[in-house]
Structure 1
Amino acid sequence: DGVPSLQWLADKWGWWDIPRQFQDGSNWGVEEIRYCDDHELMNMQYGGKRAFARPAHTMYVFQLYWLLKLANFQYVSKMVYNKEKDIVFVYKPTGFWNEQEFVYEMHHLEQVIPYQVTARKHMSSQKEDGILTIGCMNTKDHMKFYNEKKYWNLDEREDFMHQTSNLWRNAVDKYQGSIFHVVSKADEEEALMQMKVDREMEAAISKHGLATPSKPHEEIFYETVEKKKRDIVGV
């Protein structure tokens, strides 16, 4: 749609006038090519476009760019230990051509796993060519590593995996955690009580037969209605 015409600017926004040759191209032969805002109706339409549509589109593009930034810039390009191996220096991209160093303490780093710990075996981090996600419990940052061994120093890989799985090591039972435990299995007394109840239930069934529960009132009502319908039509 282009910028507003010079004539429109002169009529609406100022007392000065601008020579037409700056708008019609002078001897370029484009005198008949006019901007869309030569009419009041088009001015309103494109005024709304410039006031609402273009800013909304700009914000959409910005949000899309930020989403791509968060989605792609968590990958680690390089990671090194300090001498004591209690601090790691992580390099991650912070722009299209930039790289920034981040410093983390090892005891703050933990592998990110789902709430259902039994689903850990299905995660991408458990595959040879998957993606391993490490979270810092202090800064809330996340780092993504390629799980393939060719990207790792194999002398340090197992130690790093061990140190970043302190809270989730051997997490195969949802009732048994590193800190909290939930009793999910019956003890000896409860097991004996369950066996006694089962024996008494089997004896009662063999003596009296299977019990037939009564139908709910709604079902009885609808059956009565259907029966009366059949009586009326003689079916």
Structure 2
Amino acid sequence: MAKTTTVASLGAALVELGHRVLLVDLDPQACLTFSVGIDPEDLDKSIQQVLLGGVKARDVIVPSEEGADLLPATIELATAELSLAAESDPEHVVRTALRPVAAEYDWIIVDCPPTLGLLTVNGLSAASEVLIPLQCETLAHRGVGQLLDTIHDVQRLTNPGLEVLGVLPTLYDGRTTHARAVLETIADTYSLTVLSPAIPKSIRFAEAPAIGHTVLTTSPRSAGANAYRQLATNLARG
């Protein structure tokens, strides 16, 4: 959930700074769509129809209450990978779909699936930068090496300009030895930048998606909301 929370919260924070933001839900679980207050079951069209042709992204994009636009997903996206594989240029379908609307936004933030399949490769192939949210209270860091292998393949084959911004510590409790050890392991093993500020562990993050908002709305003065605001400011400065 940390990656979806980061996409939604970072998007909301960038909107607060006055930026035009498009969120793209590329995960068949549609957690991002739920998180910004949109029920996938109420949608007639989703990103699946855009990727498979016949529907333009512009006709599927919907506004969210916190100001960012959303290209939503439904569970139907789970069947899209098989169809995408038959395309002549399957790694670039997302890039092609977003090209007509790209100039209308300052930021397009893609929530990729947790798996490293064709949808994730599409998201990476369309991106200029990739941020890796890392849950510091789990063994999530074990998947970082596999993700970096996929990123390196994308850089070599489909998107040589892709830049890895670094890892973003989430669910972080700096008082615990384990959390600090995870960050040290990542930094040392993979030579990755650790982005700051770390996103603190808080029940507020679990509560927010249930009512279709981010923590910036539900708990605007919380440490978590302020951490995402600072992250957005740092990224906007370049």
TM-score range, shorter chain: under 0.3
Q: Which has the higher contact order (CA 8 A, sep 6+)?
A: 2
Larger gyration radius, structure 1 or structure 2: 1
* TM-score, L = length of structure 2: 0.20
* TM-score, L = length of structure 1: 0.20
Greater helix percent: which structure? Answer: 2
